[in-house]
Amino acid sequence: MAIIIKNPKNNSPLHFLNGKLIDAEGNTFPIINGVARISDLDNYTENFGVQWNKFDKTQLDRKSDGLGLSQNRFFAESNWKPEELSEKDILEVGSGAGRFSKVVLEHTQAELYSVDYSDAVSANFKNNGAIAPDRFHLFQASIYEMPFPDDAFDKVFCFGVLQHTPDFQSSVKALISKVKPGGEVVVDFYPINGWWTKVHTKYIFRSWTKRMSHERLFELIENNVDWLIKVSRFLNKIGLGVFTRFLPLVDLGTMPSVGLNKAQLREWVVLDTFDMFSPEHDHPQRIKDVVTMFRSNGANVTFAGFVEVGDGRAAVVRGIKQA
């Protein structure tokens, strides 16, 4: 059964007319680059639109490299099996350039509804719009104002996003509201591992870097990434890897260790370093606190902890919405 698309401001159903979405009151939403824009085009996620349109294919699984990094992460974190998603209505919140959209569309027969608050949806549509157009429904929309009814989806997932929203708990509430009673919600997020989590270059410099122009920040990263990679590797080699947290560079330990050539690894590092310093919001959480958020919003937690993903691990919470 198809999900009703609605205006989140007044809950009025939306339908396509003359290249726009329109409701019964005459409110319209434009379709730009193949994607309906339910939210304001300019918002706090501008940096993500910039980075994912610049690095639109960096994290996509490609048959040519055979790595399957996004596929492995999606199924490891969700603990879902491809066959169980067949003909299910799945909601993806925060799709970026579509690394996980691609996995769902290529490896399952699910009906995928996907939103992102930024213009990253342009990159996602370019990457994935032709894979299964009858099963892919993509919108630019806020996590707090999604164009779908409550209690509508069989499963909801949100990977790599929640820490970048203004209000983490309200974001969890919004996700749980969209899943059916008995349906499942899965999220990952940046964890607080201890008092030292924020004793890190990212949190020391972010008050400055997030206000820089994107062009200037990219320029700084591009001009310094090569020597920073060398210093990071040297510190790890001599047993002083703990000090790499004070380098203005993403942790190389989070990068794929096999399958990427030197140029590809550099591209991942530039992307993730920009992703580290540019977001307006960065709110890591304690796993136990996210568990409390799930329970207080009507979801029974089925898993809370770390999931091994490649050479690293991700903080994940899964829950089933109460009937």
Per-residue model confidence as pLDDT tens digits over 130-156: 999 999 999 999 999 999 999 999 999
Q: Which residue in this structure is represented by tokens 């169980």? A: 84
pLDDT digits (tens, 9 = 90+) for 194-242: 888 999 999 999 999 999 999 999 999 999 999 999 999 999 999 999 9
**What CATH number does the domain containing 314 carry?**
3.40.50.150
Identify the domain containing residue 296 by its residue range. 15-191+284-321
Please indicate, yes or no, if residue 317 is contained in any of the structural domains: yes
- In this prediction, residue 201 carries a pLDDT of 94
- In this prediction, residue 254 carries a pLDDT of 83
Please indicate, yes or no, if residue 9 is contained in any of the structural domains: no
Please indicate, yes or no, if residue 21 is contained in any of the structural domains: yes
Q: Are residues 205 and 299 in the same domain?
A: no
Please indicate, yes or no, if residue 290 is contained in any of the structural domains: yes
Q: Are residues 152 and 288 in the same domain?
A: yes
Q: Are residues 104 and 202 in the same domain?
A: no
Q: Are residues 141 and 30 in the same domain?
A: yes
Q: Which two tokens stand for residue 155?
A: 């499963």
Please indicate, yes or no, if residue 2 is contained in any of the structural domains: no
Q: Are 177 and 148 in contact (CB under 8 A)?
A: no
Q: Are residues 238 and 110 in the same domain?
A: no
Q: What is the pTM of this model?
A: 0.94
Q: Are residues 138 and 242 in the same domain?
A: no
Q: Are residues 161 and 218 in the same domain?
A: no
Longest dimension (CA), the chain: 67
Q: Give me the sign of the Cα torsion angle 224, 229, 230, 235.
A: positive
Q: How far is CA 323 from CA 186, 203, 210, 291, in A?
A: 17, 40, 42, 18
Please indicate, yes or no, if residue 10 is contained in any of the structural domains: no
Beta strands 89-93 and 153-158 are parallel
Please indicate, yes or no, if residue 56 is contained in any of the structural domains: yes
Domain end position, chosen among 261, 277, 293: 277
- In this prediction, residue 111 carries a pLDDT of 97
Q: Which two tokens stand for residue 91?
A: 């909601």
Q: Are 127 and 84 in contact (CB under 8 A)?
A: no
Please indicate, yes or no, if residue 244 is contained in any of the structural domains: yes
Q: Are residues 160 and 201 in the same domain?
A: no
pLDDT < 50 positions in the chain = none
- In this prediction, residue 193 carries a pLDDT of 87
Q: Are residues 263 and 155 in the same domain?
A: no
Number of domains in the chain: 2
Q: Are residues 313 and 247 in the same domain?
A: no
Q: Are residues 23 and 58 in the same domain?
A: yes
Q: Are residues 307 and 169 in the same domain?
A: yes
Q: Are 210 and 280 in contact (CB under 8 A)?
A: yes
**Dihedral, CA atoms, 140, 145, 146, 152, nearest 10 degrees?**
180
- In this prediction, residue 2 carries a pLDDT of 83
